[in-house]
Chain A
Amino acid sequence: MKRDLHQFQGPPDTRFPNHGTANTGSSSKDKMMMVKEEEDGGNMDELLAVLGYKVRSSEMAEVALKLEQLETMMGNVQEDGLSNLATDTVHYNPSELYSWLDNMLTEFNPPPPEINNSFLAGAGGSDYDLKAIPGNAIYARSDQFAIDSSSSSNQAGDNSQSTKRLKSCSSPDSLVTGTTVTTTTTESTRSVGLAAESTRSMVLVDSQENGVRLVHALMACAEAIQNNDLSIAEALVKQIGFLAVSQAGAMRKVATYFAEALARRIYRLSPPQTQIDHSLSDTLQMHFYETCPYLKFAHFTANQAILEAFEGKKRVHVIDFSMNQGLQWPALMQALALREGGPPVFRLTGIGPPAADNSDHLHEVGCKLAQLAEAIHVEFEYRGFVANSLADLDASMLELRPSEIEAVAVNSVFELHKLLGRTGGIEKVLGVVKQIKPVIFTVVEQESSHNGPDFLDRFTESLHYYSTLFDSLEGVPSSQDKVMSEVYLGKQICNLVACEGPDRVERHETLSQWANRFGTSGFAPAHLGSNAFKQASMLLALFNGGEGYRVEENNGCLMLGWHTRPLITTSAWKLSAAH
């Protein structure tokens, strides 16, 4: 069966609410850039768009004028002052030339005769910017979960506590304005997906004969399965086993996991139910956290956005859809503790699936965080919610307080894609997020298209994705952590390849696809800036093999990749003006 390019394509543009959802066919496969009529009638300059700059033709002269003004201004600043200005200013979304230039005009104007830092105090670079937190998790992990018989207090839909109905209040968007986030509302809705929708990005390292044959066999097997030629598939899976053994390094491991997943699919052996496996998943994720920078990057960049959004707030509340072991929060709490003017009151709501042994692990995690909070003198409040699916949540359960009193951030790391297999799941959750009215909604997801309708396409995409991921782990010295990290990734592979329907939860989608979904659901991007970029880059340098890791800025989001292949994306969102 001929693979159809159309399957790769997600919807391109966040600005058109009536645009369909994933996988609409398009005849524009030859266009690198979708040039769209903006609602007010101005076209983007096509030539600049291809080069990564979004400038409306109608605004070209104005942009040129701003460049001239900046040139003149910079001519007045002494040499040292110039690079200091550059360092101290936080830059956002350089693709949007108009707003980027505007931001600098605001920052640089007027410079006092002597450049000093007080002039720039209002800029986004803040004293309490998160420093890279290297090394191990802040507290020792327990090797087993204590079985707590009094575990009923934090069940989802907590009956013993009174639930506060969310007051319908149309509070004005209390975002800090000025330099820390994208300027005007018009700018923030400009965002157009820049990446080509059907991009297959590959970094080849192993071009040895065996590697190629192995990949070839894997693809042939997947194709046979797609064509329902199960006897051929079976023969190929065995062949893959032989080939894999003679292969070295990352390719062997990847091939082995994919082969196992293919075998499961052929023989209809379902993988272990993910429902009862959460404690194992949590443990594996801890190992993954230690071994490589992906999770740390995710936490770090999300925290940066949350920190900026919480600036000036006296009471803050984080709702974490991906609580697991709470690894993300110690760093944020420490940053809040060090905040100028003192820390806010910090409330955390952690949401997670039930533990296999019914232990109250969410409660335990909360206790550990409470201990930390006490040690660093941050007033802390915690609730844990157990839910099989995020879609089971209602805003009313969360005891939300009025937004004038408490600023809320919603955080989701590698959780949203799991909702895509369930009809209405993601819509329900995004609806709940909107009801929460967060000042920021941070999302980290895998940057790959693993949710198309075509099995072979999904297989191919994921094969390349996980090959790259495993390759990035090659530089890590062997350890139990590393082995467990590979198992962690292997489980994702298994789910992706062997499962279907609601069981298949690893339904990763790309930034453009998510951006479109968020855009049509009433969210606007909140851009991550050069300060977050810099610190994330510095964090990566601490990792063995830091050389291969790259941070990239894309439409106000940050992507972490291995060489030139982005692998995970952190994006931040706020309610758009209309909502």
Chain B
Amino acid sequence: MAGSDQVNLIESKTVVPLNTWVLISNFKLAYNLLRRPDGTFNRHLAEFLDRKVPANANPVNGVFSFDVIMDRQTNLLSRVYRPAYAGGDPPSFTDLQKPVDGEVVPVIVFFHGGSFVHSSANSAIYDTLCRRLVGLCGFVVVSVNYRRAPENRYPCAYDDGWTALNWVNSRPWLQSKKDSKVHIFLAGDSSGGNIAHNVAVRAVESGIGVLGNILLNPMFGGTERTESETRLDGKYFVTVRDRDWYWRAFLPEGEDREHPACSPFGPKSKSLEGLSFPKSLVVVAGLDLIQDWQLKYAEGLKRAGQEVKLLYLDQATIGFYLLPNNNHFHTVMEEIAAFVNAECQ
């Protein structure tokens, strides 16, 4: 296999800047060390290797953050990011939860990626990404530190997402002045995108208003081997085998990838037809091997009569949004800003 691996390595190197290649390859290497064939996970080593950053109530580049325990029972923690207050002074403790100041202030509930297994809300890559999102247009971002597989399988991550949504929805200080309501968007990358979708479904069923979903390279799958999986297997940092491992880690034991959590428009899923599901922005990277599933997802939304904008980025790999050194990154940031601001008229 060594020969074809050499080809693979060279291919992936031609499509991303070198530092991006190093970053993502480093993750790939580390993650390979952590997954065990028997389905268990080396959590201690994972936490040791993960680069974390503390919250910072002192504004940096116009953004400050603080952590909240949303639920004492489950110790569910989230990191709240806010634009710095006028004047740029560091907010005092009592000012952290000062009411948002605007007719319409979008609040993005963000679910980090990591294939349901890796990363945390305080992982450096996600802290950085969330700060960028705030910087886009003065949104508030709430990044949820949901429970991860394999220690906590489906539906824990969704339950935590739901708890977070309710928490955000019930904060008086997050209400927009226009209508004294919290203007909520759900967002996530990879597994976070999957969580965003599922939390949105639950929101719709319970009558909590979500204004839009933003799914970056969302993690979906199915039992079938799609054309993109076969074509791109192992070529751009990701293998079908590792995807399978993560689904086995997240889904209930004994379930296969037809499970609705994996395949939301598969044979076992409920229809979204007729529901007032939020509009969706679905970003698909052209070199992501699960893109066929992501495209099926967008299709499924359309067929169910839901509003969806599909953004297909030809030569983008996974993780392109982690570093601002490529056009795809800037394109996506603009699209997200436009998508969210459209609701703020």
Binding site for B on A (CB under 8 A): 2-3, 5, 8, 29-32, 45, 47-48, 50-53, 55, 60-61, 63-64, 67-68, 70-72, 74-76, 79-80, 82-83, 85-87, 91, 94-95, 97, 195-196, 198-205, 207, 212, 215-216, 219, 460, 463-464, 530, 533-534, 537-538, 547-548, 550-553, 563-566
In the complex, which of the residues B23, B26, B28, B77 has the most CB atoms of chain A within 10 Å of its own CB atom?
B26
| A464 touching B93, Cβ below 8 Å | yes
Those of B153-206 within 8 Å (CB) of chain A: none
Q: Known: A97-B22, A553-B48. Contact between A32 and B66, CB under 8 A? A: no
The one of B42, B69, B97 that contacts A83, using a Cβ cutoff of 8 Å: B42
Are A564 and B77 CB-contacts (below 8 A) given A202-B57, A537-B47? Answer: yes
Nearest B residue (CB) for A529: B48
**CA distance in complex: A75, B125 (Å):** 27
CB distance from B257 to the nearest CB of A (A): 21
Judged by a CB distance under 8 angstroms, whether B21 is at the interface is yes
Contact of B61 among A30, A47, A199, A534 (CB under 8 A): A30
Residues of B within 8 A of A67 (CB): 22, 25-26, 29
CB atoms of B23 and A83 under 8 A apart: no
- Complex Cα distance, B93 from A3, in Å, reads 14
3 tightest CB-CB pairs across the interface, nearest first? A52-B51, A201-B54, A86-B33
Contact assessment for A530 and B67 in the assembled complex, using a CB-CB cutoff below 8 Å = no
Known: A32-B60, A202-B66, A533-B48. A565 touches B54 (CB 8 A): yes
Give the interface size bracket for B toward A.
35 or more
> In the complex, are the beta carbons of A64 and B68 less than 8 A apart?
no
Nearest residue (CB) in B for A79 is: B37
Q: Does residue B34 face the partner (Cβ distance < 8 Å to A)? A: yes
User: Known contacts A215-B94, A219-B94: does B19 contact A52 (CB below 8 Å)?
Assistant: no
Per the 8 Å Cβ criterion, residues 1-42 of B in contact with A are: 1-2, 5-6, 9, 13, 18-19, 21-23, 25-26, 28-30, 32-37, 42
Contacting A199 at CB < 8 Å: which of B58, B72, B128? Answer: B58
| Distance, CA A79 to CA B34, complexed state (A) | 11
Q: Which of B22, B33, B37 is A64 in contact with, Cβ under 8 Å?
A: B22
B49, CB-defined interface residue at 8 Å: yes
Q: How far is the CA of A4 from the CA of B30 in the complex (A)?
A: 41
Within the complex, what minimum Cβ distance (angstroms) separates A206 from chain B? 9
A-B contacts, 15 listed (Cβ < 8 Å): A3-B90, A5-B58, A30-B61, A50-B124, A63-B22, A72-B2, A75-B1, A83-B33, A86-B33, A97-B22, A204-B96, A212-B93, A212-B94, A550-B47, A565-B54
- How far does the alpha carbon of A157 sit from the alpha carbon of B68 in the complex, in Å? 52
Is B345 close to A, CB under 8 A? no
Give Cα A494 to B149, complex, Å: 44
Stretch from B211-219, B225-233, B258-266, B318-326 at the A interface: B318-326
Contact call A86/B45, Cβ cutoff below 8 A: yes
A94 touches B58 (CB 8 A): no
Q: Which residues 52-84 of B sit at the A interface, judged by CB distance below 8 A? A: 52-61, 66-69, 72, 75, 77, 79
Q: Which residues of A contact B42 (CB under 8 A)?
A: 83, 86-87
Could you tell me if B93 and A215 are in contact, using CB atoms closer than 8 angstroms? yes
> Given A3-B90, A45-B19, A530-B44 in contact, is the A83-B52 Cβ separation under 8 Å?
no
Interface members, chain B 241-296 (any A CB < 8 Å): none
Chain B nearest CB from A111 CB (Å) reads 14
Q: Which residues of B contact A60 (CB under 8 A)?
A: 18-19, 22
In this assembly, does B115 line the interface, its C-beta being within 8 Å of a C-beta of chain A? no
- Give the one of B1, B47, B53 with max A CB within 10 A: B53
State in angstroms the CA–CA spacing of A202 and B122 once bound together. Answer: 12
By a CB distance below 8 angstroms, the chain A residues around B128 are: 50-51
Interface contact A534-B96, CB-CB below 8 Å:
no
Q: How far is the CA of A204 from the CA of B324 in the complex (A)?
A: 31
Residues in B neighbouring A83, C-beta threshold 8 A? 33-37, 42
Extra contacts, 15 of them, besides A3-B90, A5-B58 (Cβ < 8 A), are A3-B89, A55-B19, A68-B25, A70-B29, A75-B2, A82-B32, A91-B49, A94-B48, A95-B51, A200-B58, A203-B67, A530-B45, A533-B44, A534-B48, A564-B54
Complex: how many Å from CA A48 to CA B67? 24
User: Could you tell me the distance between the alpha carbons of A61 and B122 in the complex, rounded to whole angstroms?
Assistant: 29
Q: Chain B residues in contact with chain A, CB under 8 A?
A: 1-2, 5-6, 9, 13, 18-19, 21-23, 25-26, 28-30, 32-37, 42, 44-45, 47-49, 51-61, 66-69, 72, 75, 77, 79, 89-90, 92-94, 96-97, 121-122, 124-125, 128, 322-325
Q: Is the CB of A94 within 8 A of B49?
A: yes
How far, in Å, is A6 (CB) from chain B's closest CB? 11
Residue of A nearest to B23 (CB): A48
Given A70-B29, A82-B32, A530-B45, A51 contacting B68 (CB threshold 8 A): no
Contact of B96 among A53, A82, A202 (CB under 8 A): A202
Cβ contacts under 8 Å, A86 to chain B: 33-34, 42, 45
A64 touches B51 (CB 8 A): no
B21 touches A64 (CB 8 A): yes
Residues of B within 8 A of A79 (CB): 37
For the complex, what is the distance from the CA of A425 to the CA of B42, rounded to whole Å?
Answer: 44
Provide the residues of chain B in CB contact with A55, threshold 8 Å. Answer: 19, 22
What distance in Å separates the Cβ of B94 from its nearest Cβ neighbour in chain A?
Answer: 5
| Residue on B nearest A32 in the bound complex, by CB | B60
Q: Judge whether B45 and A68 touch: CB under 8 Å.
A: no
> Which of B29, B121, B322, B325 has most A Cβ within 10 Å?
B29
CB nearest to B36 among chain A residues: A83
The CA-CA distance from A207 to B35 in the complex, in Å, is 39
A32 to B63: give the CA distance in the assembly, Å. 11
Q: Are A200 and B57 in contact (CB under 8 A)?
A: yes
Complex Cα distance A5/B91, Å? Answer: 11
Residues of A within 8 A of B48 (CB): 91, 94, 530, 533-534, 553
Q: Which residues of A have CB within 8 Å of B89?
A: 2-3
Q: Quick one: which of A32, A53, A195, A563 contacts B67, CB cutoff 8 A?
A: A563
Instruction: Name the CB-closest residue of B to A205.
Output: B69
Q: Establish whether residues A199 and B22, one from each chain, have CB atoms under 8 Å apart when the complex forms.
A: no
What residues of A have a CB within 8 angstroms of the CB of B124 in the complex? 50-52
Q: Nearest Cβ in chain A — how far from B42, in angstroms? A: 6
Q: How far is the CA of A77 from the CA of B26 in the complex (A)?
A: 18
Kindly state the separation between the CA atoms of A31 and B29 in the bound complex, as whole angstroms: 30
For residue B60, which residue of chain A has the nearest CB?
A32
CB-nearest residue of chain B relative to A60?
Answer: B18
A530 contact set on B, CB distance < 8 A: 44-45, 48-49
In the docked arrangement, what's the CA distance between A550 and B9, Å?
36
Q: Establish whether residues A201 and B72, one from each chain, have CB atoms under 8 Å apart when the complex forms.
A: no
Q: Shortest Cβ distance from B323 into chain A, in angstroms? A: 5
Cβ B51 vs Cβ A51 within 8 A: yes
Which chain A positions have C-beta within 8 A of B44? 530, 533-534, 537-538
Q: B114 to chain A: closest CB distance in Å?
A: 14
Q: Shortest Cβ distance from A403 into chain B, in angstroms?
A: 32
Q: Give Cα distance in the complex from A195 to B49, angstroms.
A: 16
A48–B22 touching, CB < 8 Å: yes
* A30 vs B32: C-alpha distance when bound (angstroms): 36
Inter-subunit contact B94/A80 (CB<8 Å): no
Question: Complex formed: what's the CA distance from A199 to B127 in Å?
Answer: 14
B2 pairs with A53, CB closer than 8 A: no
| Residue pair B25, A71 in contact (C-beta under 8 Å) | yes
Partner of B23, one of A51, A74, A195: A51
Measured in the bound complex, the distance between the Cα atoms of B82 and A312 in whole Å is 53
